């Protein structure tokens, strides 16, 4: 047995989170001709937690099928958005009462960015500021495209100018016209982890409000929303939180800002008296004002069941420690198996700058990923030349990592040996 395989066996034997793998339904025999499947795409869609199918069957057959409308009260459907939000809160470093679950990430980005602009302007008005009006929204220039699209629409709606800036340039670019800044905690392409505490402090020093997109960090690493005074945050739940395809996203509004948070999407679910059916809108107290319409109960309760994997003492700190160990080991295996110069790692080496994924650049990346998937090593491809591998510590082991790197080397050798390559 080779050195990396022996090392993987030792690391798996010492893994304090190894038992969590049994909490998921994994296709252990789906690895094609190469053996067991290795799922390294949890940064796109998390694996299925074992508790979800049975829970959903109960929701459909008993709660919907038998209790029907009574389930809104008797089974707690109505309070699901805030109840599930409170379960997510510890995973992102937030106290209860600040997160509401519902809608998509894109919709929540829109609520948060417009809300941030309104917060900035209302704060200036309350303080009697005599300077120029805050009419600029700053956005991470490397952001996931949808965040950019939403920010541009929010700028039109609020009469702001949109200014794309790389995260490293944000502190120097901020000014007295900046109202809101939208940033990604982890870069979706490269896996770079941005400095949330320092960037949040810089935005606040300029009198602006910050919105953090946590899609690639929630459930993979500590965030510290309350500790670092983040104003607003959004995130999806179908990646490292394993909520399922299209699972509802969430919106965080810091407690001190909730009475001033003015959502651009007021709906009957966020009304102070939702069943009063009044023509005038009056926002509900607290994070509830982030709700809009009727919750998508089936997806919502699938997510609630998925969050059971975090019960029983699993901590985000332990998950982060294993994530770093997995990504370190993957890079060691790639170095051991893949000839020098065949791939380029785009993910930063320092732990403080790395999320829970590794991005490798190589020629013919699309074809390489297709062949990897055929052999049961599932990652994903990002145009034009990036292989992405996501490491979900709750169900990925070190033997998985070793096999992924070994199969990658085999595929790269095949591609290189083909005529015309």
Residue-averaged pLDDT of the chain: 95
Q: Residue 285 pLDDT > 50, yes or no? A: yes
Is residue 277 helix, strand or coil?
coil
Is residue 39 helix, strand or coil?
strand
Q: Residue 185 pLDDT > 50, yes or no? A: yes
**Residue 220 domain flag:** yes
Identify the CATH number of the domain in which residue 334 sits: 3.90.1150.10
**Annotated catalytic residue, options 24, 39, 110, 144:** 144
Residue 183 to residue 145: CA distance in whole angstroms:
12
**Residue 233 domain flag:** yes
- By DSSP bridging, strand 357-361 and strand 136-140 are unpaired
CA proximity to 228, closest of 208, 260, 199 = 199
Mean pLDDT lowest for which of 1-5, 201-205, 368-372, 412-416? Answer: 1-5
Phi then psi for 73, rounded to 5 degrees?
A: -105, -50
More confidently predicted of 202 and 31 = 202
Other Cβ atoms within 10 Å of 369 Cβ, number:
24
- What local confidence, expressed as pLDDT, does residue 283 receive? 97
Q: Which of 271, 293, 310 is the last residue of a domain?
A: 310
Domain extent for 104: 78-310
Residue 352 and residue 302 in one domain? no
User: Residue 198: which pLDDT band, with cuts at 50, 70 and 90?
Assistant: very high
- What local confidence, expressed as pLDDT, does residue 127 receive? 81
Q: Which long-range contacts (CB under 8 A, 24 or more apart) does 150-153 make?
A: 150/106, 150/109, 150/110, 150/113, 151/109, 151/113, 151/182, 153/110
Q: Which of 262, 288, 310 is the last residue of a domain?
A: 310
Percent of the chain with pLDDT strictly greater than 70: 97
Residue 113 and residue 253 in one domain? yes
> Helix 316-337 vs helix 398-417: angle between axes, to the nearest 10 degrees?
30
**Residue 38 domain flag:** yes
Q: Which residue has the tokens 């965040």?
A: 147
**Annotated catalytic residue, options 388, 395, 398, 406:** 388
**Residue 282 domain flag:** yes
Q: What is the pLDDT of residues 303-335, one digit of tens each?
A: 999 999 999 889 999 999 999 999 999 999 999
Residue 18 to residue 206: CA distance in whole angstroms:
45
Distances 252 to 13, 269, 307, 413 between C-alpha atoms, Å: 38, 17, 18, 47
403 labelled catalytic: no
- What local confidence, expressed as pLDDT, does residue 129 receive? 74
188 labelled catalytic: no
- Determine the average pLDDT of the residues in 107-112: 98
Residue 10 and residue 106 in one domain? no
Residue 238 and residue 151 in one domain? yes
354 labelled catalytic: no
Q: Residue 35 pLDDT > 50, yes or no? A: yes
- Check: CB of residue 109 under 8 Å from CB of residue 182: yes
- What local confidence, expressed as pLDDT, does residue 327 receive? 98
Q: Residue 30 pLDDT > 70, yes or no? A: no
> Domain tally for the chain?
2
* DSSP tag of 239: S
Tokens of 20: 């969590």
Residue 254 to residue 303: CA distance in whole angstroms:
23
**Residue 68 domain flag:** no
330 labelled catalytic: no
Residue 386 to residue 160: CA distance in whole angstroms:
34
Residue 323 to residue 221: CA distance in whole angstroms:
8
- What local confidence, expressed as pLDDT, does residue 162 receive? 98
Q: Residue 133 pLDDT > 60, yes or no? A: yes
**Residue 72 domain flag:** no
Q: Residue 355 pLDDT > 80, yes or no? A: yes
Angle at 258 between CA 212 and CA 315, to 5 degrees: 50
144 labelled catalytic: yes
**Annotated catalytic residue, options 103, 213, 231, 296:** 213
**Residue 70 domain flag:** no
Residue 304 and residue 337 in one domain? no
What are the E-state strand segments in 26-74? 38-39, 48-49
**Annotated catalytic residue, options 24, 188, 238, 337:** 238
Residue 16 to residue 6: CA distance in whole angstroms:
18
Q: Residue 28 pLDDT > 70, yes or no? A: no
Q: Which residue has the tokens 């490798």?
A: 360
- What local confidence, expressed as pLDDT, does residue 45 receive? 98
**Residue 14 domain flag:** yes
User: Residue 125: which pLDDT band, with cuts at 50, 70 and 90?
Assistant: confident
**Annotated catalytic residue, options 239, 254, 291, 375:** 239
Residue 152 to residue 163: CA distance in whole angstroms:
9
User: Residue 100: which pLDDT band, with cuts at 50, 70 and 90?
Assistant: very high
Report the phi/psi class of residue 97: left, alpha or beta, with left for phi > 0 and alpha for psi in -120 to 50: left
End-to-end CA distance of the chain: 32
Residue 326 to residue 183: CA distance in whole angstroms:
26
Mean pLDDT lowest for which of 114-128, 355-369, 384-398? Answer: 114-128
Tokens of 200: 């949040």
More confidently predicted of 243 and 130 = 243
């Amino acid at each position: 047995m080779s050195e990396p395989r022996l090392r993987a066996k030792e690391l798996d034997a010492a893994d304090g989170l190894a038992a969590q793998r049994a909490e998921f339904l994994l296709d252990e025999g789906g690895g094609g001709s190469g053996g067991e499947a290795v799922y390294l795409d949890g940064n796109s869609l998390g694996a299925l937690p074992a508790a979800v199918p049975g829970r959903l069957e109960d929701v459909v057959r008993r709660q919907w099928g038998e209790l029907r409308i009574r389930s809104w009260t008797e089974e707690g459907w109505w309070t699901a958005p805030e109840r599930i939000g409170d379960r997510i809160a510890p995973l992102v470093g937030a106290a209860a009462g600040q997160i509401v679950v519902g809608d998509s990430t894109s919709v929540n980005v829109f609520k948060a960015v417009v809300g941030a602009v309104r917060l900035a302007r209302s704060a200036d008005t309350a303080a009697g500021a005599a300077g120029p009006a805050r009419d600029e929204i700053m956005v991470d220039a490397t952001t996931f495209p949808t965040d950019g699209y939403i920010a541009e629409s929010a700028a039109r709606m609020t009469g702001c100018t949109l200014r794309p800036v790389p995260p490293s340039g944000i502190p120097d670019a901020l000014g007295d016209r900046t109202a809101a800044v939208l940033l990604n905690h982890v870069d979706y392409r490269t896996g770079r982890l941005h400095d949330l505490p320092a960037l949040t402090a810089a935005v606040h020093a300029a009198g602006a409000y910050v919105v953090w997109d946590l899609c690639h960090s929630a459930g993979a690493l500590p965030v510290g929303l309350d500790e670092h005074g983040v104003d607003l945050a959004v995130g999806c739940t179908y990646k490292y939180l394993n909520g399922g395809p299209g699972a509802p996203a969430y919106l965080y509004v810091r407690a001190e800002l909730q009475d001033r948070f003015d959502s651009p999407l007021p709906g009957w679910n966020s009304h102070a008296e939702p069943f009063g059916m009044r023509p005038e809108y009056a926002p509900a107290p607290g994070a509830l004002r982030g709700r809009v319409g009727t919750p998508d109960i089936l997806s919502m309760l699938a997510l609630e069941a998925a969050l059971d994997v975090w019960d029983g003492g699993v901590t985000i700190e332990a998950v982060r420690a294993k994530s770093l160990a997995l990504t370190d080991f993957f890079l060691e295996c790639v170095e051991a198996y893949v000839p020098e110069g065949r791939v380029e790692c785009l993910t930063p080496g320092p732990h403080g700058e790395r999320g829970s994924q590794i991005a490798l650049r190589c020629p013919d990346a699309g074809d390489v990923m297709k062949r990897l998937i055929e052999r049961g090593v599932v990652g994903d491809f990002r145009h034009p030349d990036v292989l992405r591998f996501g490491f979900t510590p709750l169900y990925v082991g070190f033997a998985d990592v070793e096999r992924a790197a070994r199969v990658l080397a085999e595929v790269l050798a095949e591609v290189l040996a083909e005529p015309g390559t």
